[in-house]
Amino acid sequence: MPKTIYITRKLPEVIIEKLSSHFQVRMWDQEDVPVPREVLLKEVEDIDGLICLLTEQIDEEVIYKAQNLKVISNVAVGYNNIDVQAAARKGIIVTNTPGVLTETTADLTFALLMAAARRIVYASDYLRSGEWGAWSLMQLTGQDIYGATLGIIGLGRIGEALVKRAKGFDMRVLYYSRTRKPDKEQELGIHYMEMEPLLQHSDFICIMIPYSKEVHHLIGKKELSLMKKNAILINTARGGIVDEDALYQALKNGEIWGAGLDVFEQEPIRVDHPLLSLPNVVTLPHIGSASVKTRMNMAQLAADNVMNVLNGKQPITPVRAES
Ligand code: NAP
Ligand code: GLV
pLDDT of residue 322 exceeding 80, the answer is: no
pLDDT of residue 177 exceeding 60, the answer is: yes
Dist CA 247 CA 259 (whole Å): 9
Dist CA 160 CA 108 (whole Å): 14
Q: Is 210 in the pocket of ligand 1 (CB under 6 A)?
A: yes
DSSP string spanning 262-289? S--SSSSPPTT-GGGG-TTEEE-SS-TT
- The pLDDT, as a whole number, for residue 178 is 97
Confidence of residue 321 (pLDDT cuts 50, 70, 90): confident
Give distance in angstroms: CA of 53 to centre of ligand 2.
9
Dist CA 113 CA 174 (whole Å): 16
For residue 186, how far is the Cα from the chain centroid? 27
Active-site residue, selected from the candidate residues 56, 238, 255, 295:
238
User: How open is the CA angle 268-208-305, to the nearest 5 degrees?
Assistant: 75
The pLDDT tens digits for 217-268 are 999 999 999 999 999 999 999 999 999 999 999 999 999 999 999 999 999 9
Mean pLDDT of all residues in the chain?
98
User: How large is the average pLDDT for residues 15-32?
Assistant: 95
User: How open is the CA angle 156-63-86, to the nearest 5 degrees?
Assistant: 55
Cα–Cα nearest to 301, from 317, 290, 287: 317
The CA dihedral of 61, 67, 68, 73, to the nearest 10 degrees, is 0
pLDDT of residue 323 exceeding 80, the answer is: no
Give distance in angstroms: CA of 241 to centre of ligand 2.
14
Give distance in angstroms: CA of 128 to centre of ligand 2.
33
- The pLDDT, as a whole number, for residue 96 is 98
Q: Is 286 a catalytic residue?
A: yes
- The pLDDT, as a whole number, for residue 59 is 98
Strand-pairing partners, residue 176, are 153
Cα 225 to Cα 161, 200, 228, 315, distances in angstroms: 28, 9, 8, 44
Q: 9: Cβ–Cβ under 8 A, 6 or more apart, which residues?
A: 27, 28, 30, 31, 34, 35, 53, 55
Q: Is 223 a catalytic residue?
A: no
Closest-lying ligand 1 atom to the alpha carbon of residue 181: 46
Tell whether pTM > 0.95: yes
The pLDDT tens digits for 44-97 are 999 999 999 999 999 999 999 999 999 999 999 999 999 999 999 999 999 999
Give distance in angstroms: CA of 301 to centre of ligand 2.
14
Residue 125: CB atoms within 10 A of its CB come to 12
* Closest C-alpha to ligand 2, atom 3: 76
Q: Is 119 a catalytic residue?
A: no
* Closest C-alpha to ligand 1, atom 32: 210
Helix (H/G/I), strand (E/B), else coil: 129: coil
Dist CA 78 CA 222 (whole Å): 26
User: How large is the average pLDDT for residues 30-41?
Assistant: 95
Q: Which domains does the chain have, with CATH numbers?
A: 4-100+292-310 (3.40.50.720), 102-283 (3.40.50.720)
Percent of the chain with pLDDT over 70: 99
Helices (H), the chain: 13-20, 37-43, 60-65, 84-89, 102-117, 120-128, 157-168, 182-188, 195-201, 221-226, 244-252, 292-310
The pLDDT tens digits for 261-317 are 999 999 999 999 999 999 999 999 999 999 999 999 999 999 999 999 999 999 999
Dist CA 240 CA 211 (whole Å): 7
**Taking a C-beta distance cutoff of 8 angstroms, is the pair 287, 262 a contact?**
yes
